[in-house]
Structure 1
Amino acid sequence: MYDPARANPLHGNPLLTRSDVQKALLDLFQPLLPYFSEGGARVRLSATGAIFDHAAADLEGFARPLWGIVPFAAGGGTFPHWPLYRKGLANGTNPAHPDYWGDVADRNQRLVELAAIGFALAMVPQHLWEPLTAEEKQGVAAYLLAARERDYVDNNWKFFRVLVDLGLQRVGIAFDRKKTVAYLDELEAFDIGEGWYRDGPVKRVDHYIPFAMHFYGLIYAVLAKDDAERCARIRARAERFAPDIRHWYGPDGAALPFGRSQTYRFAAGGFWAALAFADLEALPWGEIKGYYLRHLRYWSRLPIADRDGVLSIGYGYPNLLMSESYNSAGSPYWALKVFLALALPEEHPFWQAQERAAPTFPEPVPLAKPGMVAMHTPGNVVVLSSGQEHDKMRGSNEKYAKFVYSTRYGFNIEANDRHFDAASFDGMLGLSDDGVHFRMRETLDEALIADDMLYSRWKPWRDVVVETWLLPQNPWHLRIHRIDTPRELLTIEGGFAIPRADFGRDRSEEESGRAVWFGQEDVSAILDLGEWQRLGRAHVPIANTNLIVAKTNLPQLRGAIPPGRSVLVTAAFALPSGDAADRALANPPSPPDLSALERLFDERGERVAAFDLT
């Protein structure tokens, strides 16, 4: 019988020590061995496809495990499969071999995966390069040199050429250094201050900032021996960034599910590993180690692999609905970036430090650059958000434009945009003018932050304007929506989605202006604080729409608004069951003074840096 607790190679590992983490790396790699091709260069894990060709996907399956294998070996670990990797590298770069990865091209997936090979050559050439024959070395070098001449996507991809160049430099292959410097300059131009970057010329900052921009940057800062000033800038940004990004991690180690590429899972812990790798004590070592190990332990408890132990596409469980077009079956192995800390010896202060619990933050924490406000609540970090957008992928509205995100409860992806009544709208306001199709906050006209409050203006239709204010009232948060519409609109607004038990064991309450779900371990509530009351509804979302759990319950408010101007005022919270939840229900917040809010933003509102793309 399928045992979800064991559908995870990390299951049962205490993940307390360096040796535990070493074992985790080997346990994650072992299930891949049956899927290596005879020539060693291709690893095909399933029949699912991605936007790129199968050869590139097979290279992805081959290369991504190196993000963990390389630091493991660099730190003295014994990896028994280097002959397989050397054979694969030689054959994958040989156009005459059946396992050939295919020619490199501009903005092509192969450019992404070759970064791991560059990293390996830079870190452990004795395992992957030096035993090759002269002819094999020539073939590998020619393939990498051809790749670095191609055009890379204008975002974190530019680091992939930099990493290839670090590898070529380590093994003595000559190349034009000016191209490296140009990309490094362009990457630094994505800096928006206080340690935050954009991931390219876009109006969003997401996990690619910690697990890509900072992660690769800190690797460069360690390995580049002739670029001291730039390395110092990279390190200073990471040091400033750490006190902010810790608010994207819950007390149980969960990272904030937010943005694209959630299937990379514990890659989100790679930033803490990179701080250690760079010997950068941006927070006390015990705190860094705590964020790192709690994150790994969080993932050890979830059914994230298939029956054979291969990591699935998904997040808390196998789930293609939440994936991106560029996710192949090998994509989840970017999670192995988290093992960068294994390059450090046992004697390093990171490994020697006593793990510390996450600090507590009783007051809301503004994160001005990404346009967020974090609230630490029992068992959870809740993040209000305005200033992010991405309209070029499935589920992008849910991944970037919800009003609120949670480390404990994740978020839902809508499964059918032609079924308004069945939609979740967790952390969102859904609008419909026909009762069938629906719109939500997607792209923004404006995004502001003032103290610990947020404002956005958005247009679900060309002739409908919505202004939204978000206010923390820990553990509640308030949402005020002022809507100008020339026609009647139907509205649904959702709270947090919490796990649903089988056999109808959960309890709900729904009435005018209020809906509450009482789950087995959590309570989720939503209230209408406006002048007229929307109807409360204890909604049961479509299965497999939440990132963390397959089945959820969700409280909603529903009602129609007439043509003209309407103001909706909403309060929502979710908490573990117990005294804190009982107190919150007994003490709902009061509606805010909208005119006072407007004055505050007129006087002190600042445009969100992530949104202010100039």
Structure 2
Amino acid sequence: MAEAKTGMVIGYNGRHPFSLVPLDGGSRSSVQDLLRTLLDPLEPFFSPQKARVRIPGATAVRFDQAASEVEGICRPLWGLACLLAGGGTYRGTGWWIDGIRAGTDPESDEYWGFPRDNDQRMVEMCPLGYALAVAPDIWAGLNERERGNVENWLGNSINQKEMPNTNWLWFRVFANLGLKQNGGKFSQERLDADIEHLNTFYRGDGWSNDGPEGIHQMDYYSSSFAIHFLQLLYAKLAGKDEPERAEEFKKRAQIAALDLAHYYDSEGRSIPFGRSVGYRFAMVSFWGALAYADVELPAPLTWGMVKGMVMRHLRWWQTQHDMWSPAGTLTIGYSYPNMYMAENYNSPGSPYWACLAFICLAVPETHPFWTSQEEDHWSVLPPVKALRHPGHIMSNLGGHCMLLSSGQACSYPMRGTHAKYGCFAYSSAYAYSVPPGLYTLEQYALASQLGLSDDGGEYWKTRRLSESSSLQFFSGSPVLVSKWSPFPDVHITTYLLPPVPHTPNWHLRVHHITAGREVMTADGSFAICNENSTNGRYLDLYNSDIGEGTRPKVIGNYDLLTPEAWADGSDGAFAVSLKAGAVGIRALEPDTVGTGGRRRANLVNADPNSNLVESRTTIPTLQHTIPGGKSVWYVSAIYAKPSGPGVQKETYLDGWDKAPEIPTWLRAEMMGSSS
């Protein structure tokens, strides 16, 4: 009888070893130890011949179970390969060599299977190709026949198949590159053709789109998850043979770095935006790749600032204690297990794409990335910056990094795509929310979204696709303008205005709505933790002595008639949490007489597990009904003051009574449309 395997078990109030590794000094050896805490819990889940890893979580994805288990072994290989490339060691390295041997052997019971067109196996060929390129012991550990199996599975198969016209093409590049670096059979013609096609995704100013013309999707796949990351790895590995191509990739990264730095705050949090954020700390891998590829940093960035971004990011994830399974493996989710936010391609092994973050371990310990003292990049960056290509306005005012966004959309309607790309604002302190259901506002969880309903509030439509979007400047300040139509006869122009220094905790969201039918509207602020500090129950009515609660009162889900649950829109609604700070929303527009009256404010208790970071949230919201045939202007002021180091709880609402003025140009626009 085979001996039963035992693995890590995290019990009540237990802490994962990942959270216990001291990173205070930011040393290379401490980050090596951090990676080992990710790899160790996988041991009991290797198959007998080590070719597959069945990570806990019996959830299905759009591809077959075997491919899911190939993800389980290949994605952690990103971390192991980076560790080995930098001269580090791991006790289980032989598991992966054995697994590669068996997985590529057609005669093995654990053969990975020959890929079909658009097969998920192609994705996992990328970490395998990189590992072969940088860890010679893997290729050296295979005999001639086994190397032939790897060549057939890794090179011949992928070169003969169709692939999605996205960042996936980089995966085939690395499959060929890994074989090339070891003298194996590969296709230079296919490799060159793929890179030339990928270059057509480049839009300028350092930014690449995740797809061809007609798709506007520039999220972490454009930087840390795939395109910039793999361009930099390619520049490092193939730069001697292809210096012009390598220099071009480095140049793009230099330009983009000054934009991408705006996505990371001083506490180590990145702004959750777009799909696949369940890859967690992979969001910071771009910065380690800069060091790995020997890129010269653009002024005013320093290696101390780059190191600070990476180390603070890893430390923040060390505080997210609920992202682990009881067996110690990463779960599908963000700060906690969450299937509502998952994509249809997120298998239990999928989150280990997070191991991209450990590219810094392949950087020599003599590099200034490791020898520099950590610095805060926000000492040199402008607090507000407009990014033309992604359609973002970045802000670091008011205690958090925030981006305003217009125009982006996934090329297909994935789960919660309107929340992942269509929200008006995304924050490092207040993550976006996804709908856990499609019935009433509580399930739609309209954080930083405007929802419209034509059936009395059962079903809601939000901004998913923009008919047009542009970055404009009014009185020298950037404004995002988008046009969208949730119904064929309801047309909306939305203006997004970033914070300004004298009201740093506010941004403005303005909607001009022409309604051909009667519609209810709901405009939500950021979502905030809905747990009080006394007993963990929902927030009560605001108590100034405690410095916590909501105004107006939260009555309960589906109760829309209780008077004390509502306030005038000009008074607004807010929620204050000692843990998270304060958020709120107020209506600044003049009276909307003749269009259904003024807007009213309340608190929407979002269904649990809708938010990426907080499992229980409430959303201050403005609501209104527009009669059919009417046109209205909404001017929503959204308040946010996060908790943080040095922020006293007594100050959470300091800016609430200092709402911003409606800019002169906007007043003129509103008057002009009404005349």
TM-score of the superposed pair, with normalisation by structure 1: 0.94
CA distance in 2, matches of 1:518, 1:86: 53
For the 8 Å contact 2:639–2:656, the answer to whether it is kept is no
Structure 1 residue 147 corresponds to structure 2 residue 158: yes
CA distance in 1, matches of 2:60, 2:450: 33
CA distance in 1, matches of 2:312, 2:169: 31
CA 1:241–1:330: 2 relative to 1, 3 Å: same
CA distance in 1, matches of 2:16, 2:365: 30
Looking at both structures, which has the greater relative contact order when contacts are Cα pairs under 8 Å and sequence separation is at least 6?
1
CA 1:294–1:101: 2 relative to 1, 3 Å: same
| C-alpha displacement of 1:362 | 6.3
**Residue type of the partner of 1:516?**
F
Per the alignment, residue 351 of structure 1 pairs with: 370
For residues 224-282 of structure 1, what are the alpha-carbon distances to aligned partners after superposition, in whole Å with 9 as ceiling and x for unaligned?
Answer: 13111111110000000001001111211111100000110000111011001011132
| C-alpha displacement of 1:210 | 1.1
Map 1:26-425 onto structure 2 (within 5 A). Answer: 26-45=36-55, 46-125=57-136, 127-145=137-155, 146-201=157-212, 202-211=215-224, 212-224=226-238, 225-282=240-297, 283-302=301-320, 303-360=322-379, 363-390=383-410, 391-420=412-441, 422-425=443-446
For residues 361-402 of structure 1, what are the alpha-carbon distances to aligned partners after superposition, in whole Å with 9 as ceiling and x for unaligned?
Answer: 564211121111111134411111112112420000000000
CA distance in 2, matches of 1:99, 1:594: 66
For residues 37-74 of structure 1, what are the alpha-carbon distances to aligned partners after superposition, in whole Å with 9 as ceiling and x for unaligned?
Answer: 00100001121111110110100010011111111111
**Residue type of the partner of 1:530?**
E
Moved more, 82-91 or 211-220: 82-91
CA 1:159–1:504: 2 relative to 1, 3 Å: closer
Among 442, 466, 470, the residue aligned to 2:492? 466
For the 8 Å contact 1:251–1:379, the answer to whether it is kept is no
For residues 278-336 of structure 1, what are the alpha-carbon distances to aligned partners after superposition, in whole Å with 9 as ceiling and x for unaligned?
Answer: 11132310011011111111111102111221000000111111000000000000000
**Residue type of the partner of 2:15?**
R
**Residue type of the partner of 1:518?**
V
Map 1:461-500 onto structure 2 (within 5 A). Answer: 461-473=487-499, 474-500=504-530
Structure 1 residue 512 corresponds to structure 2 residue 568: yes
CA distance in 2, matches of 1:417, 1:588: 33
CA distance in 1, matches of 2:459, 2:181: 56
| C-alpha displacement of 1:579 | 6.2
CA 1:387–1:167: 2 relative to 1, 3 Å: same
CA distance in 2, matches of 1:50, 1:287: 39
Per the alignment, residue 640 of structure 2 pairs with: 574
Among 432, 436, 449, the residue aligned to 2:458? 436
Per the alignment, residue 659 of structure 2 pairs with: 588
Secondary structure, in 3 states, of the residue corresponding to 1:555?
strand
**Residue type of the partner of 2:304?**
G
**Residue type of the partner of 2:36?**
L
CA distance in 2, matches of 1:230, 1:580: 52
**Residue type of the partner of 1:562?**
P
CA 1:334–1:363: 2 relative to 1, 3 Å: closer
Secondary structure, in 3 states, of the residue corresponding to 2:223?
helix
For the 8 Å contact 2:441–2:604, the answer to whether it is kept is no
> Can you give the 5+ residue segments of structure 2 that lack an aligned partner in the other structure?
1-9, 540-547, 553-566, 592-597, 644-648, 671-675
**Structural RMSD (CA):** 1.9
Among 623, 627, 646, the residue aligned to 1:558? 623
Secondary structure, in 3 states, of the residue corresponding to 2:634?
strand
Per the alignment, residue 595 of structure 2 pairs with: none
Per the alignment, residue 9 of structure 1 pairs with: 18
CA distance in 2, matches of 1:590, 1:379: 21
Moved over 6 A (4+): none
CA 1:597–1:290: 2 relative to 1, 3 Å: farther
**Residue type of the partner of 1:480?**
V
Among 570, 582, 595, the residue aligned to 1:523? 582
**Residue type of the partner of 1:301?**
T
Among 30, 34, 46, the residue aligned to 1:24? 34
**Residue type of the partner of 1:459?**
S
**Residue type of the partner of 2:640?**
A
- Aligned residues with identical type, % of pairs: 37
| C-alpha displacement of 1:11 | 3.7
CA 1:527–1:454: 2 relative to 1, 3 Å: same
For the 8 Å contact 2:23–2:31, the answer to whether it is kept is no
For the 8 Å contact 1:8–1:304, the answer to whether it is kept is no
For residues 423-455 of structure 1, what are the alpha-carbon distances to aligned partners after superposition, in whole Å with 9 as ceiling and x for unaligned?
Answer: 321100010000211100010100010131100
CA distance in 1, matches of 2:90, 2:382: 45
CA distance in 2, matches of 1:233, 1:4: 50
Secondary structure, in 3 states, of the residue corresponding to 2:251?
helix
CA 1:413–1:357: 2 relative to 1, 3 Å: same
> Can you give the 5+ residue segments of structure 1 that lack an aligned partner in the other structure?
600-614
Secondary structure, in 3 states, of the residue corresponding to 1:443?
coil
Residue correspondences, number: 600
Secondary structure, in 3 states, of the residue corresponding to 2:480?
strand
CA 1:215–1:362: 2 relative to 1, 3 Å: closer
CA distance in 1, matches of 2:117, 2:669: 48
For the 8 Å contact 1:420–1:432, the answer to whether it is kept is no
CA distance in 2, matches of 1:89, 1:424: 44
**Residue type of the partner of 1:583?**
D
CA distance in 1, matches of 2:604, 2:257: 38
For residues 72-116 of structure 1, what are the alpha-carbon distances to aligned partners after superposition, in whole Å with 9 as ceiling and x for unaligned?
Answer: 111111122232212111111112211111111111100000111
CA distance in 2, matches of 1:396, 1:231: 34
TM-score of the superposed pair, with normalisation by structure 2: 0.86
Map 1:447-466 onto structure 2 (within 5 A). Answer: 447-451=469-473, 452-466=478-492
CA distance in 2, matches of 1:370, 1:530: 29
**Residue type of the partner of 2:464?**
E
